[in-house]
């Protein structure tokens, strides 16, 4: 018996009154479902995942979830592959079960959101509609109002997947003054200045990354500060880096960020193949890139090139499952340089996105092709990923899994 549990839909006592006893995760899938799980640990130290609730509020193509910890809400996106419009759903999660609070029609192809301007606004990257949409968030009830859409017609890059502009993520810089959008189709880091008075964005000159590299996801890194809320970030902005994962070139790069009159500048510090000391396997498509909660490691994933294996969740089946890799990079705080530490089994095929718990000893990884959510053990000191502690199979194309513990990608300075 390995540390895993098949889907368990038994009732649980994880309600608001006992919230401290619960470890809650929200998981979105291209099946259309957004499922909320409680990660339980029994007195023998065995973990299991119990279902707390399921919603179809972001159906049919639930592509992304973002916790707005301040408001106890979760933003969910429907990518809408076959309809002209997608949706942004605002979920309330007061009882550890997501309920649709509000729902808005938007452009199609929505794949990522970020809360910005002290929690007053939301930016959404639309891969399919070559757009960035922006929304104000009402202080009293979290209602969204559209405050502007940008549609990009920049000539795309040379690779077939670059048929047009494809904004893949929306990020906010550590000072909460700029939005950054990696555009996979146009090989650009798009930047926008935030007007603090009304949250509207002003488009700045984008930064060009290598042609055909396909920038996808990334994270800002400020050595002096832990990720998360605090004025430390603004005070140390002159010592900030941006780590970028490029899907088509399968690279991970570090840039020194400069703050100038015309916005953000980027100077390359280091760049490496995402598989580190092993050459990039055919068919690979690099995906996620996030910082560890202690700011010591950058973690990435490679998709669709499963050269590793992971134990079969069926303990009676001795055939191991094919697995893509999740990687660890050590950060040199003095230079921003990234050094490969290792590739570890991600728990299946197509780790599109993953997230690490606040303590840093576990990661939740969604495996889109395998249709699986796994909780991986993570060693805080070395940043290495280890055994599958718990898993759920049969989830369809998992796109996002987030811990309901705060939003490490968003740093309100107020």
Q: Does 151 bind ligand NAG (CB under 6 A)?
A: no
Nearer to ligand NAG, 151 or 196 (CB): 151
Binding mask 389-408 toward ligand NAG (x if CB under 6 A, else -) reads: ------xx------------
Rounded alpha-carbon distances, angstroms, from residue 292 to 172, 269, 329, 354: 17, 20, 10, 11
Nearer to ligand NAG, 264 or 321 (CB): 321
Residue 203's beta-bridge partner residues?
192
Q: Does 130 bind ligand NAG (CB under 6 A)?
A: no
Query: Which two tokens mark 39?
Result: 């990660």
Q: Does 134 bind ligand NAG (CB under 6 A)?
A: no
For ligand NAG, the binding residues in 98-117 under the rule CB under 6 A are 105-107
Q: Does 33 bind ligand NAG (CB under 6 A)?
A: yes
Q: Does 59 bind ligand NAG (CB under 6 A)?
A: yes
Nearer to ligand NAG, 106 or 165 (CB): 106
The arrangement of strands across the sheet holding 85-92 comes to 62-68, 73-78, 85-92, 99-107
Q: Does 369 bind ligand NAG (CB under 6 A)?
A: no
Query: Which two tokens mark 31?
Result: 């099946």
CB of 330 to ligand NAG, least distance (A): 10
Contact with ligand NAG (CB under 6 A): which of 77, 170, 291, 321?
321
Q: From 14-22, 234-242, 287-295, 312-320, give the range in contact with ligand NAG by CB under 6 A.
A: 312-320
Distance separating the N- and C-terminal Cα atoms of the chain: 49
**338-345 and 351-356 beta bridge pairing:** unpaired
- The span from the CA of 216 to the CA of 37, in Å, is 28
Q: Does 83 bind ligand NAG (CB under 6 A)?
A: no
CB of 348 to ligand NAG, least distance (A): 10
Nearer to ligand NAG, 292 or 327 (CB): 327
**Cβ-based burial of 141 (10 A; exposed 0-12, middle 13-18, buried ≥19):** exposed
Rounded alpha-carbon distances, angstroms, from residue 233 to 170, 224, 247, 348: 19, 8, 28, 36
Outline where DSSP puts E strands in 274-411: 285-291, 297-303, 308-310, 321-323, 325-331, 338-345, 351-356, 362-367, 372-378, 385-392, 398-403
CB of 333 to ligand NAG, least distance (A): 20
Contact with ligand NAG (CB under 6 A): which of 8, 12, 56, 295?
56
Q: Which residues bind ligand NAG (CB under 6 A)?
A: 31, 33, 54, 56, 59, 84-85, 105-107, 277-278, 312, 317, 319, 321, 342, 395-396
């Amino acid at each position: 018996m390995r540390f895993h549990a098949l889907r368990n839909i038994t009732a649980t006592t994880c309600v608001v009154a006992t919230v401290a006893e619960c470890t809650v995760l929200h998981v979105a899938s291209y099946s259309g479902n957004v499922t909320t799980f409680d990660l339980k640990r029994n007195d023998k130290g065995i973990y299991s995942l119990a279902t707390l609730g399921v919603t179809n509020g972001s159906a049919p193509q639930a592509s992304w979830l973002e916790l707005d910890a301040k408001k106890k809400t979760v933003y969910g996106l429907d990518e809408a592959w076959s309809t002209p419009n997608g949706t942004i759903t605002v979920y309330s999660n007061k009882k550890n079960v997501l309920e649709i609070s509000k729902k808005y029609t938007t452009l199609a192809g929505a794949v990522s959101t970020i809360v910005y301007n002290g929690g007053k606004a939301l930016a959404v990257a639309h891969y399919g509609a070559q757009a960035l949409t922006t929304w104000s968030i009402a202080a009293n009830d979290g209602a969204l109002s559209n405050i502007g859409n940008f549609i990009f017609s920049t000539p795309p890059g040379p690779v077939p997947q670059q048929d047009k502009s494809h904004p893949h993520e929306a990020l906010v810089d550590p000072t909460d003054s700029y939005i950054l959008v990696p555009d996979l189709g146009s090989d650009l880091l798009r930047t926008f200045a935030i007007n603090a008075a009304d949250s509207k964005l002003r488009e700045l000159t984008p930064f060009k990354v290598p042609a055909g590299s396909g920038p996808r996801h990334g994270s800002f890194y400020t050595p002096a500060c832990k990720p998360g809320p605090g004025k430390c970030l603004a005070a140390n902005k002159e010592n900030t880096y941006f780590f970028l994962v490029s899907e088509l070139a399968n690279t991970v790069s570090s840039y020194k960020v400069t703050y100038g009159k015309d916005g953000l500048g980027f100077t390359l510090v280091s760049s490496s193949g995402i598989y580190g000391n092993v050459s990039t396997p055919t068919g690979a498509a690099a995906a996620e890139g996030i910082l560890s909660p202690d700011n010591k490691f950058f973690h990435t994933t490679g998709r669709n090139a499963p050269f590793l294996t992971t134990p079969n969740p069926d303990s009676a089946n001795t055939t191991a499952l094919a697995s893509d890799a999740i990687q660890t990079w050590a950060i040199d705080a003095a230079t921003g340089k990234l050094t490969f530490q290792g590739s570890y089994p991600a728990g299946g095929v197509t780790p599109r996105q993953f997230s690490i718990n606040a303590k840093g000893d576990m990661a939740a990884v969604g495996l889109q092709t395998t249709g699986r959510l796994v909780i991986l053990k993570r060693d805080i000191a070395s940043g290495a990923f280890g055994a599958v502690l718990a898993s759920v199979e049969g989830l369809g194309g998992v796109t996002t899994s987030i811990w309901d513990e705060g939003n490490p990608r968003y740093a309100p300075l107020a």
